[in-house]
Every structure is written in C-alpha cells, then in structure tokens.
Amino acid sequence: GKMSEVEETLERVKVQSGVEGYLIADHEGNVLRRFPSMSASLAAAYAAAMKHLSDKSRNVVRDLSPKNELKYMRIRAKKSEVLVAFDKEFLVIIIQKWQPAA
Amino acid sequence: MSSISSVESTLSRIVSHSGVRGVLILTLSGSCVRSSLPPDLTAQYSALVSELAAKAASVTRTLDATDEMTFLRVRSRQHEIMVAPDKEFLLVVIQDPEQGKEM
C-alpha cells in the first residue's frame, strides 16, 4: 500500500551518507513512522516544527494562487538540511546533518 | 552588498534566465528594495515570502539553537520560490517548476 511505498523510498534514502533521520507524520504533526535510531521526542519536535512551517507555506502558496498545491520544501542551514515532501495524507520529513568545514 | 551597478547586472542576469518569473530583494522586515514584478505582485510576495522566510529561520533555530538557515526552497505545482537570506536582505527568485528538476 501507500505507506509501504513511502517506506521503501525512505529505505533507499536513508543509506545515503549524512541522513540523520526521517519520519512520516500526518498533517496534524503526529509521528506515524520514524527512523529507528531517532528518538521519539526529536521526531515529535521535527513533526511539530514542520507541520507549523508547512501550514504557513501552504497559506503563502494559496494566497498567491488559490488553486496551487504545495509539493515540497527544502530548508537548508549551516549544519543541516530538512526536506519536507507533501502527500495528500502525510508529511515525509528527511533530515541531513553534517559538520561545517573548518 | 556590492555596488549598485553590479547588483543591477546580477538581477538582470537572473531575470533573463528562461523560467524565471520574478526576482525581488527584500529587507528582513519585508520592505521591497528591488523587484522585477509589477507593484501588486511585488506587494503580495514581499509580505508573504518575508514572513515565511522568518518562520523557516525561526524553526531552524528552535530545532538547533546553533544552526542558521541559509536557503529556503518551496516548490508548488505552479512555481518554485527560492529565498536566500543575507545579513540584511532576502533574495527571492520565483521560477517555473520545470527548472531545476532535482529535488
């Protein structure tokens, strides 16, 4: 089903270096699946933060053009990058981390 | 920031890329310094995108107080918005979703 397709994709993604964690959340910010070594509280923190940011993005996109639909967001930072992919039912959140060059 | 003429020539170069619909330079508080869009769209994008960028930057710090957002990309079905923050400004580029196919 849909969830197992998403999980297969994530299995492929997680072996890439730097992937710190991934999680699948519903649109309310509840964690449905998380990369096993990611703590439940960290996953919950990401889910809540990305739900918040997603709601804002969705509003911006729709304010600009009412029929438009959000596909994904990438938030790049000095030590990390978060990808949030939007699905009708889920948010798929992938977190990559690295050490900045000295 | 670079001299006015090099900023202008950079903006012209970006705007002339096929698929680029608009470029804006905003202050961090959302005032528009430069825009290639007409006034009504400029006003809309300035307000909405500066708020979104501020929110994304804040979320980044909430998750890790030692981290700092460097780039934001929001892809929707109709377009892609890219935001690069700087100490004092936001560079915003709006382009067709077909450009830059990789996620």
Contact between chains at A53 and B97 (C-beta distance less than 8 A): no
| Model confidence band, residue B99 (pLDDT cutoffs 50, 70, 90) | low
Residue with tokens 């869009």: B37
pTM over 0.90: no
Contact between chains at A77 and B60 (C-beta distance less than 8 A): yes
Residues of A in contact with B78 (CB under 8 A): 65, 67-68
pLDDT in the model for residue A21 = 87
CA distance A78 to chain B (A): 6
Burial (CB count within 10 angstroms: exposed 0-12, middle 13-18, buried 19+), residue A75: buried
Contact between chains at A69 and B59 (C-beta distance less than 8 A): no
Please, what is the average pLDDT of chain B?
90
* DSSP conformation class of A89: S
Q: A20-29, B1-10, B75-84, B91-100 — which is least confidently predicted?
A: B1-10
* Per-residue pLDDT at B102 exceeds 60: no
Tell me the CA end-to-end span of chain A in Å, nearest whole number. 45
Tell me: the pLDDT tens digits for A11-68? 776 656 678 889 999 999 999 999 867 899 999 999 999 999 999 999 999 999 999 9
Of A67, A70, A75, nearest to B69 by CB-CB distance is: A75
Tell me: the pLDDT tens digits for B11-35? 888 888 889 999 999 998 899 999 9
| Exposed e or buried b per residue across A31-61, where buried means at least 16 C-beta atoms within 10 angstroms of its C-beta | bbbbbeebeeebbbebbbbbbebbebbbebb
CA distance A70 to chain B (A): 4
More confident site: B61 or B5: B61
| Model confidence band, residue A10 (pLDDT cutoffs 50, 70, 90) | confident
ipTM of the complex: 0.88
| Model confidence band, residue B103 (pLDDT cutoffs 50, 70, 90) | very low
